Structure 1
Amino acid sequence: MEYLSEFITIALVHLVAVASPGPDFAIIVRYSVNHGRRIAMYASVGVGLGILLHVAYSLVGLSVVIKTTPWLYNTICYLSAAYLLYLAVGALRSKPGNSSANISTDSKVTSVTPKKALINGFLTNGLNPKATLFFLSLFTAFINVDTPTAVKAFYGIYLAVATGLWFCMLSYLLSTSGVVNLIGDKGYWLDRFMGVVLVGLAVRLVTL
C-alpha cells in the first residue's frame, strides 16, 4: 500500500497517453480495417511488448542518456520516421480488393502473418521517440528515486499489459460486424487515411 498513490498516478498518466492518437493507434486501426481482428490483436500484443523495451532502458537510466545525447536521440527519430514511412507506403497502396469489410471479422486471407504483425507492433512502439520522452518523464517526475527497482519493474509490466489490452480492445471494437458494415466496401479509404496520418507523424518527427 505504500506505493499505491504512486501507482494510481502512473496509471492515470498512462491512460491519457495511450488514448492519444499516435503511431500505435494508426497501425492498429489499419490492421483492424485491412487485415481483420486476429492480425490486429497480434499487432496489439507487439505494441504492449514494445513498452517493455522503454521500461528496461528507463530502469538502468539509459532514457536520460538518450535524451541528453542529441545525435543518439536524432538517430532514433530518423529511424522511427523511416519505419513509419515504410508502413505508410503499404497503407497508401491499399486497393478496394483489400478491404476486410466483405470478409469475416475473425479471419481473412492476408499477406500479413501473425509474426509480422507482432514484430511491426513492437517496432512501431519501440522506435517511437515520443514513448522515450514519456518514460523519461514518468521515471523522473512521477516515480520517486527511492522506489525499489522491483516496484518500478512491476509498474513497467503493468504498463505493458495495460497497453496491450487497450489496443486489443480497440482491435475488437474496430472489427465488430457493426463497424465493418458501417465502413462497407470503402474500408480501403480509411486504410489510405491512416497512411496519410503515418506520413504526417513521420514528418513531424524529423521537423520538430
Structure 2
Amino acid sequence: MEVLNYLPQIIAVSTIAIFMAISPGVDFVMVTRNTLLHGKKSGLYSALGISVAIWIHLLYCIAGLAIVISNSIILFSIIKYIAAAYLIYIGYKNLKSDSKLDLKIEGVKKDISNFKSFKIGFFTNVLNPKATIFFLSIFTQFVDVHTPILVQLIYGVIISTAHFIWFSLVSLFLSHPIILNRFKSYKAKIEKAIGVILIALGIKVASSNI
C-alpha cells in the first residue's frame, strides 16, 4: 500500500502530536477551567471541541491557506487579536464570577451546556495562532505536492485523536472526587487564579510576534 511508504513520516507526526498535546498552553488551561468549574462532562466536551478544531487547521493547510495566513501580517494579526480578546473575555468572566455559589457534592456548578463547553474548546484551539504555526511547520516538513490526501488525512486523525485522548484524561483526572473535594476548599482562589492566567495568556498572545 502507498500509505506504508509514509510510515516513517506518520510515526514522526504521531510523536510530535503527542508532545504538542501535552505541552501546557491555552487548551490545557481551558479544559482545566471547565472541568473544575462545571464538571467532567464539560471537560470532555471541551476536549471534543479542541479535537474538532484540529480539522479546521488541517483543512486550510490542505487548501494552502496556512502559508497565506502566516505571510499576511494583517490577517495573522486579526486572528491573533481575536484570540487574545477571547482569552481575556473568558478570564474576566472568571474574575467576576460569583464565588459564593454553593457547590454540590460533585464539586461543580451545573450552569453550562454541553454545546457551550464544546464551543469553548473549539474556539480556544481554532483561534490559537500557535496552532496555525504548528500545522504550517508540519505541512512544510512532511507534506509536499506528491503527498496523497489520504496520508494528510491520517495526519489529521493522529493529531486530533492525540488531543482528544490527552485532554479527556486531563478532565477525568481533575474530575476525580478527591480532586474536586480539595477544589471546593479553594474554589474562589483557584477560579480567580485561572482568570488571571487566561488574561495573562491573552495579553501574551496579543503582544507576541509569533
- State TM-score, norm by structure 2: 0.91
Deviations 1:2-54 (A, max 9, x none): 21111111111111111111111111000111111111111110011110100
The 10-residue stretch of structure 1 (159-168 or 74-83) with the greater mean CA deviation from structure 2: 159-168
Aligned equivalents of 1:23 and 1:148: distance in 2?
A: 32
Matched, 1:11 2:10: no
- Hey, what does 2:196 align to over in structure 1? 196
C-alpha RMSD of the superposition: 1.7
In structure 2, do the counterparts of structure 1 residues 152 and 183 end up closer, same or farther at CA, with 3 Å as the change threshold?
same
CA contact (8 A) 2:106 2:180 kept: no
Do the aligned partners of residues 46 and 132 (structure 1) sit closer, same or farther apart at CA in structure 2, a change above 3 Å counting? same
Superposed, 1:30-41 pairs within 5 Å as 30-41=33-44
For residues 173-196 of structure 1, give each alpha carbon's deviation from its aligned partner in whole angstroms, at most 9, with x where no partner exists.
Answer: 001012123333212322221111
Does the aligned pair in 2 maintain the 1:37–1:171 contact within 8 Å? yes
Amino acid at match of 2:105: I
Number of residue equivalences: 205
Q: Secondary structure at the match of 1:206?
A: helix
| Structural mapping, 1:1-208, within 5 Å | 1-98=4-101, 100=103, 102-104=104-106, 109-208=109-208
CA spacing shift, 1:165–1:74, aligned 2, 3 Å: same
Distance across 1 between alignment mates of 2:17 and 2:190: 27
Unaligned runs of 5+ in 2: none
Return structure 1 stretches of 4+ with deviation > 4 angstroms: none
Comparing 63-72 and 161-170, the one that deviates more: 161-170
Distance in 2 (alpha carbons) for counterparts of 1:162 and 1:99: 35
How far, CA to CA, are the matches of 2:16 and 2:191 in structure 1? 29
**Counterpart-to-counterpart distance in 1, 2:90 and 2:155:** 30
Higher mean C-alpha displacement, 183-192 vs 148-157: 183-192
Per-residue deviation at 1:204?
1.1
1:56-78 CA distance string (max 9 Å, x none): 10111100000011100000001
Tell whether the 8 Å contact from 1:81 to 1:205 is kept in structure 2 after alignment: yes
Give, in whole Å, the separation in 2 of the partners of 1:43 and 1:19.
15
Range with bigger deviation, 112-121 or 180-189: 180-189
Higher mean displacement: 155-164 or 168-177: 155-164
1:92 partner SS? helix
Identity %: 32
Give structure 1 stretches of 5+ with no counterpart.
none
Asked if 1 retains the 8 angstrom alpha-carbon contact of 2:57 and 2:131, the reply is: yes
1:171: how far off? 0.4
* Cα shift readout 1:109-153 (whole Å, capped 9, x = no counterpart): 522111111111111101110100000001102335422111101
The structural deviation recorded for 1:98 is 4.4
Change (3 A) 1:67 1:99: farther
- Whether the 8 Å CA contact 1:47–1:122 is kept in 2: the answer is yes
Q: Normalising by structure 1, what TM-score?
A: 0.92
Q: Is the 8 A contact 2:70 2:133 kept in 1?
A: yes
